[in-house]
Amino acid sequence: QQPVQSPQAVILREGEDAVINCSSSKALYSVHWYRQKHGEAPVFLMILLKGGEQKGHEKISASFNEKKQQSSLYLTASQLSYSGTYFCGTDQTGANNLFFGTGTRLTVIP
Amino acid sequence: EAGVVQSPRYKIIEKKQPVAFWCNPISGHNTLYWYLQNLGQGPELLIRYENEEAVDDSQLPKDRFSAERLKGVDSTLKIQPAELGDSAVYLCASSLVGSADTQYFGPGTRLTVL
């Protein structure tokens, strides 16, 4: 039930864009995105509910294709502060029991 | 507004010893979660509370793990006895409601079992 994330790791220069993908073999009710820096708590980014609505704010946005059980996180004009490990958490029933992927380690360099 | 509070932040024990972790959720949050996070992995849900009731504990190893949430606020997760494989970060999270709602995580307790 654990979703699969890709890529596992990516290195960007400041200002470059990145896409992180999250794929599940099960039908999904919602997808939750988090960013975690080393030794810190996961920080919430956004939730996407089934319906395919794309959400976002500033330079981070995401989409959810419920037919394909896939979600993508879009990071545009990356900043040094974007570095960290990004996790998607998937909820199959609406009970908010999240299954997290293994993460995508993003490193932004000057 | 204060976030999710956990203590201790770090704990080192020898195997077979008991250990307990404490969590204070965000004020007013009815749903509380305990997760385990191994190095390089995503969090794994152990147990979810709706107020005082444990509504999903299917992933909790009940032979050695136990949890309680008295009065529907603070929660304690206990391991007795601890094994080497229990070394991990134990994260607590809370949400206002239990459906499609944002989960806010605490800083976690890093457990090392020697």
A interface residues, B as partner, C-beta within 8 Å: 2, 29-30, 32, 34, 40-44, 47, 49, 87, 89, 91, 94-103
Instruction: Determine the Cα angle at B77 with ends B71 and B60, to 5°.
Output: 110
Which of chain A's residues have a Cβ under 8 Å away from the Cβ of B102?
Answer: 32, 44, 47
Which of chain A's residues have a Cβ under 8 Å away from the Cβ of B104?
Answer: 44
Nearest to A37 by CA among A46, A45, A29, A25: A45
In terms of CA atoms, which chain B residue is nearest residue A39? B107
Residue B60's pLDDT band (boundaries 50, 70, 90)?
very high
pLDDT the model gives residue B92: 97
For the stretch A52-92, pLDDT in tens is: 566 666 688 998 988 899 999 999 999 999 999 999 999 99
For the stretch B9-36, pLDDT in tens is: 999 999 999 999 999 999 999 999 999 9
For the stretch B36-53, pLDDT in tens is: 999 999 999 999 999 999
Would the pLDDT of A101 be above 90?
A: yes
**Spatial separation of the C-alpha atoms in residues B21 and A89, rounded to whole Å:** 24
In terms of CA atoms, which chain B residue is nearest residue A99? B44
Cβ contact B43–A42 (<8 Å): yes
pLDDT the model gives residue B98: 65
DSSP A2: -
For the stretch B70-113, pLDDT in tens is: 888 999 999 999 999 999 999 999 998 767 788 999 999 999 99
